[in-house]
Amino acid sequence: MLIKRPPDIRSSEITPESVYRSRRRFMRESLTVAAGAGTAGLVGTPTAVALPAEWLTAREVKAGVPLDEEMTSERDATGYNNFYEFGTDKEDPAKYAHEMTVDPWTVEVTGEVEKPGKFGLEDMLSGIDLEERIYRLRCVEAWSMVIPWIGFPVKKLIGKFQPTSDAKYVEFRTLHRPSEMRGQRSFFSNIDWPYVEGLRMDEANHPLAIFAVGMYGKLLPNQNGAPIRLVVPWKYGFKSIKSIVEIRLTKRQPKNTWNVLQPSEYGFFANVNPNVDHPRWSQASERRFPTTLFNPNRIATRMFNGYDEVASLYKGLDLGRYY
């Protein structure tokens, strides 16, 4: 299932046709060969491999439905982001993330599943079709972007490991390697590494929630969460955990990193909500990239970041209390 275009897109946000067509042409020409790989032999595979550079161009990617909003430039999306494992400045990930080794890469699946294990990433993703998903990304800091991800629904991967009936939540952990992630060895860091995030099972199973392995027609760069990250577009960006090495299905709600650090500021749900302000700033509007000091390009924030189809997940839940 591909994303649906919200009905309230303003004409000022529409991408020029020439820009969109040139990008579609690039996708068609660079991502043409079907994968055709099966899932046999996945469980218990010990091989530790990352995705080789040619892996993405050897996969057929289902083109995404256009969002009809101007996409953020690749330069902005890869050069301005939060990845505290490499530092607290927005430019630090782009400067230092190349120090992280992504080959080999394994992901361990544990907890309430019938088929747990540690798997090489390429084997883990065999037989999974890729799609382009053009999503809004809304940071809790009130800036936003529109990014063309390449990935697949979270549900497709989790389903391979056969969750038990006791699986109520999914916990994700980022790589912990202080020797290559200078933010983790910083004397000034107050984060208890590794970084942890979580979703309810129904959130993880929603078709909009994806694992991303690429963006802008290329493999994910390190600073954006290579080689595999979560993207949950109706939640604030800190929920979309990067560089995942462990997925654990649990009976109880995980203790996610920012909620542990500042529970009054960062809730477990972290749904984009213009009606619930951060204690230190308003969430009613956002700065959409491209943005500058003299031209902040401020727009109104939409409930669930404009993805109204997830509203049924929270029916009857007080989103002011469960923020």
| SS3 label, residue 277 | coil
**pTM for the full predicted model:** 0.84
Q: Are the C-beta atoms of residues 248 and 168 closer than 8 Å to each other? A: no
For the chain, what are the domain ranges?
11-314
Residues 6+ apart with CB under 8 A from 14: 68, 69, 70
- C-alpha angle with apex 230: 249 to 32, nearest 5 degrees? 120
pLDDT of residue 293: 85
Count of residues for the chain? 323
H-type alpha helices, 73-176:
74-79, 92-96, 121-124, 154-160
Burial class for 197, CB neighbours closer than 10 Å (0-12, 13-18, 19+): buried
Two structure tokens written together for 55: 């892996």
pLDDT grade for 50, boundaries at 50, 70 and 90: low
d(CA 176, CA 178): 6
What is the CATH number that goes with domain 11-314? Answer: 3.90.420.10
pLDDT of residue 19: 40
Please determine, for residue 258, whether its predicted confidence score (pLDDT) is greater than 70: yes
pLDDT of residue 59: 81
pLDDT of residue 65: 77
Which residue in 160, 80, 78 sits closest to 114, CA to CA?
A: 160
Q: pLDDT by residue (tens digit) across 191-239?
A: 999 999 999 999 999 999 999 999 999 999 999 999 999 999 999 999 9
- Please give the radius of gyration of the chain, using alpha carbons only, rounded to the nearest integer: 19
Q: pLDDT by residue (tens digit) across 239-255?
A: 999 999 999 999 999 99
Q: Does the bond joining 290 to the residue before it have cis omega, within 30 degrees of 0? A: yes
Q: pLDDT by residue (tens digit) across 110-169?
A: 999 999 999 999 999 989 999 999 999 999 999 999 999 999 999 999 999 999 999 999
